[in-house]
Structure 1
């Protein structure tokens, strides 16, 4: 890694350099890198050197040293300028003057090539060959010294060499006393078996936590099994009769028990649910009985109490079975004449099984038209017709006994159309109402005001589309259509929504 000052600038060239330069060695252990010269012109700061940090894997102490890289020497081998003296690992390698530069400073005039040529002088004369010197005289070989036997003879020994060799062996020493005998080790590689270390270990059944082979069938032992895997009768306790039945309910021999023998009822006897602590099947879904479950293991909504908030106004509180909306919540309702031939569809949500026989509209004005100009019906959300009224002539609105005087005089109130008694299962329904023929002033209804292209009641998340308020034009037939569709051409929802209800009276 070569580390220069933290920031080097070249103002004349608009160049800024900063940070260390790290070079990885190639597969041969060499590297090559281009660096700015330490004496480059126009550089700030000046007079600095590179810090070189070696990082070799496996080297206990890597070197860190300083070097100068002058511009006049563009190619440098790091091996030529790296320190080699381990006692001086850190220094600045400064290039001294070359011999040529010293010569120039001493007065030489000429190029490097001329100076190098000046170093080669003329060839001198060949020297005279010298004479060969005489060979030195070899010294005489010394005499061989006497061996140990000869030395012994020289000092007075008179025997032969064999006798002398025998004399070198001293007498045998006395035999030492025998040591004590150690304990015998266990034979083989086994040190002990269940705590026993005798030479021959014999284990009993108790030593290995087993039952002796004499225990089967013996007193205090264990029971045996016969060839069928069962305990023989001889080993059963006497209270069991040894496997044979002595009597049954006091009877012996071939015993046949009847119901009376075991305290049971005869086959012809019938027990009631109460006698066996059970509920009768008639208690299912009956008053004071138990709730039943439908095919999805849930209690049918018909068996649940009416889901109404406590102390709140409900349709039932005002004599209706259901209504499209609470008229009390409608802001400033006004009456509007019904257009002949327009078939209104008003959404109802039935949450429990409900019986109805009246379709009711909230009206103001007439209604006492003698001709059978009005028709109503009920449709499922699938578009299938459930029930339909006959063509009827409505009674005058607001004439119920006990009505407010203003209701009587202004003809404001409920106008019912009779239908066949019908049970509506839980689900979504449309109530249909139409003034089939007549004049525009024949009937006026109270409504939820709407001034938009689509009624605000038609508000749902994708996947649950059900228009609560829409209509079609051109209802001139005596009967209502057998099926309807909110997506069919001609279905509109830019109208004021009638206020309707269902009743069972």
Structure 2
């Protein structure tokens, strides 16, 4: 065996990624090979998870010790995905021995032909450094750069939560302490006028009726009467817009205004707790998180952003993924995600469909052609009316020389028990139901479900 090493750079959690080594021919197409020194020994794919720093190491059989009907072979190393979803692949020719960094044994595939064979470019030894060339001419001035971000936009990136107006307000500091009192000003020249004004104010404020209208006002609406001298209390109440409740006492019996603990109030959710029964359908981001409705679908098994890994499906196994329906609707689409393409599908034996919770197959569609490319798949089925509060299973079965690798969530030890915690087999979120299948059966027995060892495959309906 020869050791090949590498490192994932830029992944926030590289230990959750999966590095795979797959045997391919010199055109990059997956092939079957045999260990030259062990008759009948088929060369297997290798999988490993990097450590927390992204470093990984694989022990691989040298390509010179592999025989294949396809002729010469290479190893294809897949390290996660690019931002656009494309797998990050590197083709290498593994030497006969030693430990090698992946970049030092890289092989570049080419469309050029030599006879009936593809040309493969392997890394050679570096030649001596040539002499320094003459300095080039200065290039033309570049186009003006894009405007930089505003201070508010930078504050948002640094964690500020709020509007621009709120951010501006946050820049204003608290009010400072009152300053020391200044020295007294110089005396003015109108001291006589001020003395006269002070005397006039005192005379006015101490007079019993300075305007001559206090006796009239007191005869119309005396403050001391507390509205008891109103000609008609009921008319005044009507004019103020007060209803009958304005003259009722608070209580818990008939003819009183209900208090918060009134037994006559039933079915109301109390401020300190309570239970909402039935289904709860929300739109957009009403719960402060991404929901299926915000993405225009009826339901999914979990946010697709959590599908950070993938697993190759086993031929003939029926895989079930549960989706919970929040609102009555009609389902015409099933979404599923191929992370690594399959090849050579058995005609008519690759299907995606929908079962109800009783195990009845509602609809299914052939997906032979869909397994050969890695991307999000949208499969159309005949319209199926689904019920709010109920759950359904998206079902998949594959048969191919190379079955597809589908995206999934966690694959840690014990995940089959964790994701189905508290559920009976007939209500499992992720399960298998039968092997050796060439098509989805017309019905399944939900109580025969067996938990998968990974949270997946990911699926959604809409």
TM category (shorter chain) comes to 0.3 to 0.5
More helix by share: 2
TM normalised by structure 2 equals 0.35
Larger radius of gyration: 1
More strand by share: 2
